[in-house]
Structures are given as structure tokens and as C-alpha cells.
């Protein structure tokens, strides 16, 4: 792609393909037929492209829409839902009724921690366990223990929890319905209720019970067949198969992403305008931080706490926070957006960032 052209819809998607959270967002984009550019990131730190934008957040995926950067797949999909209302060009993937169910499923797995427990059932012969750089990078997600020892210690309990989550899914689709919402087509409730995103040990650590998570567990983790099989969970496996067939159809009709190299992606973002002009800080918010206050922003639910973004508070609602930061070279202001759930906003002492 020419460096003089803006990315499709001014969207640059930063991710790597092995991330189940990244797949979740890519699947959503395919179902909605939203054109975008992508910039593939390394699976471990550092990530110079994001650093050049002034982003310290260590997880993937992230998405730049103009000069607004969205952290966490929840914030990404929520913003895309706002920007692309249902139309002939961008088919609907949710209804008001299904959005309520999708949110319920999201909160179910936030509390049930399906993704976190699933990471503990990874088989010890996976290639990542032979990659010392990967093990070192992910060590912080297992407290004082290394990744190998942490998974070995938690595997039994993890299998118990994941089986219970599969039981919930089997019961949910066990009444004969083809889709989670009970309708005649796939919707966002199915995606929120599957598996495939932010990266292993580095994404939305408390995932949904969506098909994307179920798919990731069955496809990438090779769970023990004595606990997970089509015979044990026939409805769940059938639901997953239906979803994947619909996904392949959606991909065949969706625009192919434009691949950008890092420098071109950074240039495209920094040369863009802000896409989100609705900047507001709720003065009645329970944390009582005023607009313009220098704050730090970071996730609280896994090993990303050491990678904190610092900037000027420009948006604070019950669902979203945004801060203004400077690009790495100090030339350009960038706005970083995150969901309120499992993100900490802390006022910095003094005026320095």
C-alpha cells in the first residue's frame, strides 16, 4: 500500500495471528464487512510500533481509528458498533435484545474466568514451552513462578473450571437452538459466547464464554479427550461448527485487510485526525478526577500492571476512559481509550507525566 494513502476507514489494527483475542476482533470485522489495515506485531515485548505512538500498554490487540487508539477488544468492538451502524454495506451483527445477552455472557466469563483457567490447561509439549524468550516475557502472569511451573501447578484445578464452563455452554444450547440468542442467524451473542484475541496471557485476561474462547481451547490447547470431546459436549461442538461455517462465508464476502509495515502504520496514525470528538469527563463519577488531571492508566486483571500509560484525562464515562499522550518523538498528541472494567485510573502527584 502506498504510504500516501490513508488506511481503509482510517483503521489500523495492531495484532498477531496466534492471539485468540485478535481473532475475536478479526472475526467481528469479517461479519460486519468493515475494511481495515493491519500491522502485525511480535508476540512478545518490545513492540516498537505501538511505542512510537506513545502507547505503553503491553497487550494485543489494539486498534487505531484515526489518532484514537483503543485498548482491549471490548473497547474496540464497542467503538466499531458505534461507528458502523447496520446497513447494506455493513450487515447487522446484533440487535438490542442480543446486545443484552452478549453483555450477560461477557460478565459471566469475566466472573468465571474461563480464559484464565484455560491458560492453565495448556499441554506441556506446546512449542511455546521451548521458547525461552516467550517464557520470560509471560513470567509476570504467574506471580513468582515461571510459566511452566505455574501451569503445572494449576492444571488440575484449571481443567475442573473449564469443564464447568463447557457444561454451561452445553446447557445453553442444549434446548435445540442453533444460535445462542435463539434466532435464525448468528449474532454478536454467539461471538461473545466462542473462543479464538488479546494474546495468550496478554489479552483481556478475563474472557467471555463466546465461541471464540471455546474454539481456541479446542483448536489450540488440545484438551484431554477424556474430559472434552464431541461425545461429551455434542451441542457445544455442533454450535462451534455452525459458527465456523458462517465465519468462512463472512470472510469470503469481507474486504481483505491491507497489510502495513510498522513505519507506514505509525505514519498513517500520526497523520490522521481524531475520530472520536465526543470528549467529556463526568464530574459526578465516583472516582472524582477532574478533566485535565494527569493520570496513569493500566489493566488490573493480569500481568500488565507494570506497563502503564500516563497522560491528561480527557474522557471519563461509566464505560470508557481516555487520556491524551504524546507520540514517542513528542511531535503529536494521541488519544488512548480503554474500558472502565478492570482498568485502573490513578491521579499522578504533581504536574509531571
Q: What was the pLDDT predicted at 260?
A: 98
Q: What is the pLDDT of residue 206?
A: 35
- The confidence band for 123, taking pLDDT boundaries of 50, 70 and 90, is confident
Grid coordinates representing 335 are 488519544
pLDDT band (50, 70, 90) for residue 202: very low
Residues with Cβ within 8 Å of 37's Cβ and at least 6 positions away in sequence, in order, are 1, 7, 8, 11, 12, 13, 257, 258, 259, 260, 265, 268
**Between 235 and 205, residue with greater pLDDT:** 235
**Rounded distance, CA 255 to CA 35, Å?**
5
pLDDT grade for 98, boundaries at 50, 70 and 90: low
Beta bridge partners of 322: 315, 337
Parse the chain into domains and list their residue ranges.
8-87+258-347, 96-250
Nearest to 150 by CA among 160, 135, 165, 162: 135
User: Is the confidence at residue 300, as pLDDT, over 90?
Assistant: no
Measured CA angle at 66 (ends 110, 293), to 5 deg: 65
b/e per residue 286-295 (b: at least 16 CB within 10 A): eeebeeebbb
Asked if residue 22 has pLDDT above 90, the reply is: yes
From the CB of residue 204, how many other CB atoms can be counted at a distance below 10 Å? 29
Convert the pLDDT of each residue in 265-295 to its tens digit. 999 999 999 999 988 999 999 999 999 999 9
What was the pLDDT predicted at 314? Answer: 98
- Report the 10 Å Cβ neighbour count for 107: 14
> For the chain, what percent of residues have pLDDT higher than 70?
82
Domain spanning 8-87+258-347: CATH 3.40.190.10: no
Q: Does the pLDDT of residue 193 top 60, yes or no?
A: no
Q: What is the pLDDT of residue 153?
A: 74
Report the C-alpha gap between 88 and 313 in whole angstroms.
Answer: 37
What per-residue string of b and e applies to 79-105 under the rule 16 or more CB within 10 Å gives b? Answer: bbbeebeeeeebeebbbeebbebbeeb
- pLDDT above 50 (res 200): no
Tell whether the model's pLDDT for residue 136 goes beyond 60: yes
The yes-or-no verdict on residue 203 having pLDDT over 70 is no
- Asked if residue 150 has pLDDT above 80, the reply is no
- The predicted structure's pLDDT at residue 199: 38
User: Judging by DSSP bridges, how do beta strands 343-347 and 294-299 pair with one another?
Assistant: antiparallel
The pLDDT assigned to 207 comes to 38
Q: What share of the chain is helix, strand, coil (3-state, %, to 5)?
A: 40, 20, 45
pLDDT average, residue stretch 300-328: 91
Long-range (24+ apart) CB contacts under 8 A made by 276-280 are: 276/65, 276/66, 276/68, 276/79, 276/322, 276/335, 276/337, 278/315, 279/314, 279/315, 279/322, 280/315, 280/316, 280/317
Q: Look at residue 194 in the predicted model and tell me its pLDDT.
A: 40
Residue 258, pLDDT above cutoff 90: yes
Amino acid at each position: 500500500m502506498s504510504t500516501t494513502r490513508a488506511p481503509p476507514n482510517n483503521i489500523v489494527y495492531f495484532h498477531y495471528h496466534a492471539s485468540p483475542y485478535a481473532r475475536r476482533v478479526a472475526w467481528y470485522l469479517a461479519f460486519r464487512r468493515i475494511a481495515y489495515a493491519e500491522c502485525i506485531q511480535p508476540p512478545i515485548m518490545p513492540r516498537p510500533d505501538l511505542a512510537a505512538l506513545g502507547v505503553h500498554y503491553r497487550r494485543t490487540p489494539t486498534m487505531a481509528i484515526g489518532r484514537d487508539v483503543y485498548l482491549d477488544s471490548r473497547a474496540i468492538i464497542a467503538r466499531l458498533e458505534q461507528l458502523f451502524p447496520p446497513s447494506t454495506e455493513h450487515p447487522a451483527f446484533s440487535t438490542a435484545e442480543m446486545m443484552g445477552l452478549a453483555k450477560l455472557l461477557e460478565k459471566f466469563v469475566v466472573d468465571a474466568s474461563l480464559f484464565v483457567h484455560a491458560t492453565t490447561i495448556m499441554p506441556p509439549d506446546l512449542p511455546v514451552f521451548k521458547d525461552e524468550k516467550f517464557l520470560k516475557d509471560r513470567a509476570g502472569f504467574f506471580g513468582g513462578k515461571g510459566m511452566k511451573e505455574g501451569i503445572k501447578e494449576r492444571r488440575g484445578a484449571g481443567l475442573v473450571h473449564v469443564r464447568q464452563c463447557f457444561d454451561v455452554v452445553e446447557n445453553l444450547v442444549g434446548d435445540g437452538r442453533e444460535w445462542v440468542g435463539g434466532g435464525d442467524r448468528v449474532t454478536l451473542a454467539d461471538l461473545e459466547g466462542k473462543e479464538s484475541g488479546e494474546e495468550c496471557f496478554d489479552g483481556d485476561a478475563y474472557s467471555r464464554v463466546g465461541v471464540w474462547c471455546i474454539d481456541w481451547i479446542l483448536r489450540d490447547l488440545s484438551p484431554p479427550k477424556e474430559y472434552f470431546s464431541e461425545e461429551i459436549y455434542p451441542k457445544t461442538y455442533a454450535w462451534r461448527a455452525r459458527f465456523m461455517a458462517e465465519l468462512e462465508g463472512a470472510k469470503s464476502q469481507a474486504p481483505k485487510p491491507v497489510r502495513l509495515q510498522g513505519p507506514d502504520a505509525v505514519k498513517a496514525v500520526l497523520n490522521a485526525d481524531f475520530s472520536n470528538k465526543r470528549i467529556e469527563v463526568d464530574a459526578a463519577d465516583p472516582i472524582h478526577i477532574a478533566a485535565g488531571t494527569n493520570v496513569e492508566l493500566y489493566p488490573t486483571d493480569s500481568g500488565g500492571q507494570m506497563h502503564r500509560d500516563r497522560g491528561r484525562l480527557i474522557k471519563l464515562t461509566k464505560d470508557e476512559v481516555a487520556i491524551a499522550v504524546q507520540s514517542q518523538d513528542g511531535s503529536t498528541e494521541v488519544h488512548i481509550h480503554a474500558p472502565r472494567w478492570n482498568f485502573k485510573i490513578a491521579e499522578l502527584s504533581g504536574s509531571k507525566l
